[in-house]
Amino acid sequence: MVHRARRIAMDSPLYAAAFVALMTTAGGCNHAPVADLEKSFTYKVQQNSGTSDPIKIDFLWVVDNSTSMCQEQLALTENFKTFTERLSSQFDIDPRLAVTTVDVQCTVNGTSIFSSQGLFNTVPARTFPPACQDTLVRACSNDAGCANLDCQASGECDDIDEPSCSCTDPDEWACRGYQSDICLRTPNGSINTSCRRRCTTDQECKDLFGDPRYICQKLSGNQLDWGCLLPPATQDCPATVPAILDGTNLDLFACAATVGVNQESSCFKYEQGLRASLLALDPKGKNAEQSKAFLRDDAYLVIIYVSDEDDCSVADGRSISEDDYETCALLPTTDEGGPLVPVGHYVNRLKGLKSDPGKVIVAAIAGDSTATDAASVAAERAAYLSSKGDPRTCYQQTYICNSAVGKADYGSRYLQLTQAFGPNGSFSNICEDQGIDRALENIADTIITVLNKLCLPRPVLGSLKVIRRLPDGSETEIPEGEGSGHYQILRTAEDCAVDGQLLPAIAFGDPPTPGEEIEVTYQGDPQFNQ
């Protein structure tokens, strides 16, 4: 006996589907549920004839603008093209993009100063301050502790302590950050001092770092303050850019995302990325007109946080003491009598921005352990938290990882947020060797997986068998797992509901291509009535 299944809504316009469910029973036709009911269907992927509309995606980028983010902002803008090319290779998209920063409420000496408070950035940063001059993390108590670092910066030597690794001028690098021997290293092993590269000419910096964009920054007459700097790549940017970008002017993303850094350290160490994103998008908030101009009802919403520090979003009417700025992410939430907003609040509010929560995707590029096994990761996180919370003031400079673009705190609240979004969440370590380029690829892959979601017509009992059939008739079984060549089963997909009941879905690491067939066989729940 063959039944025609109810058609389930499909989000991705890449496909036109012939969706037929074959249900078999033992003992002929009757109305009693059968325990071994099996449902199988073939999903036919047909060539588009040009009638499908592009997929609408609204991207909000929340970029940290503290003084430690110069290299990361450069890396983000340099690798953005790879991100968009990865998406456009799979889909025809209709994008909107906007950028805001993590500063929400800032005061210096009791006086309120400008902060974005969720407003979209329209002014490209033209310069970076001296805090952005090139440094290398190094344990030093004076300039002599920075000798021979040119060999490491140029790549001539991996280990500058090797006798054969020697450079000529020991005064080219200056030690900074030294307070006392006891503060040199924090309890988790991170180093509190660094070496800054001095210079006298631009060419000196270009040759050393192998990049023609480098300059020798000279902001004072004191040559000891001069240092090598990679400036913002905004020389060709207009004075202002549109608050909302689209497919016609994506080349201006580098201008909008170069938000600059602020040296008011007593203010901008107090970073509220989660709160900033909600202020930017809340249709009933202080930036309601901005939200209404940006968010499209029928678009996916992708929110991407880029920060080397953790989130410290506080509740309305609450504040954090300046003494707690360095360790604010360790403070308790309002559920525990503290000032921080629970991450779950932002999970619910961000999902609530769309009538279909399955169309909200959240990603973060933030700090974490670079260990490769779970036990070591857990140990490094615990050591970081213990060291960061140590009462000795200099230990508050503790970081969890270090990379070519800088060091980073543990972004625990960003990790918690992305995990709460399940397959619609992506967390990448800002310290990974592959850099921000790989992190953007991870985010693109998450978006592709969400857009390649196939709703199933019944709850699943047991396992699935998923077959990819090519136009030449050859077949391969797609294994369950993450990434390219696999599928994931989402047991309850919020955008696959029938009569209020959430149904499962399959998310493919690679989208089916025109001409292919995807056959899915599984044991369906006989108690579910369509």
Q: How many helices (H) and strands (E) does the chain have?
A: 11, 23
Per-residue pLDDT band at 99 (split at 50, 70, 90):
very high
Least-confidence region, from 88-102, 118-132, 166-180, 189-203: 166-180
What is the value of pTM for the model shown?
Answer: 0.83
pLDDT of 339 strictly over 60:
yes
Per-residue pLDDT band at 467 (split at 50, 70, 90):
confident
The tens digit of pLDDT for each residue in 276-297 reads: 999 999 999 999 999 999 999 9
Q: In a 3-state reduction of DSSP, which class is residue 473?
A: coil
Residue 162: its pLDDT value, please? 57
- CB burial class (10 A; 0-12, 13-18, 19+) of residue 79? middle
Residue found under tokens 């196939």: 454
In sequence order, what are the residues at sequence separation of 6 or more whose Cβ sits closer than 8 angstroms to the Cβ of residue 308?
Answer: 64, 66, 68, 69, 72, 366, 367, 406, 407, 408, 409, 430
Dihedral of CA 372/376/381/383: which sign?
negative
Residue 148: its pLDDT value, please? 77
Distance CA 146, CA 136 (A): 9
pLDDT of 229 strictly over 90:
yes
pLDDT of 209 strictly over 70:
yes
Residue found under tokens 């480098």: 214
Per DSSP, helices labelled H in 89-200 are 149-153
Residue 106: its pLDDT value, please? 64
Per-residue pLDDT band at 311 (split at 50, 70, 90):
very high
Of residues 83 and 524, which shows the higher confidence score? 83
Task: Output the DSSP codes for 155-176.
Answer: TS-S-TTSTT---S-TTSEEEE
Find the helix packing angle between 343-351 and 412-420, rounded to 10°: 40
Strands of the sheet containing 135-137, edge to edge, are: 135-137, 194-197, 173-176
Which CATH number is associated with domain 72-128+233-368+411-451? Answer: 3.40.50
Instruction: Tell how strand 55-63 and strand 194-197 pair up.
Output: unpaired
- Segment 360-387 shows an average pLDDT of 96
Instruction: Tell how strand 215-217 and strand 501-508 pair up.
Output: unpaired
Distance CA 496, CA 493 (A): 5
Q: Residue ranges per domain, the chain?
A: 19-52+453-524, 72-128+233-368+411-451, 133-231+374-404
From the list 241, 217, 210, the residue with the least C-alpha distance to 231 is: 217
Distance CA 251, CA 129 (A): 25
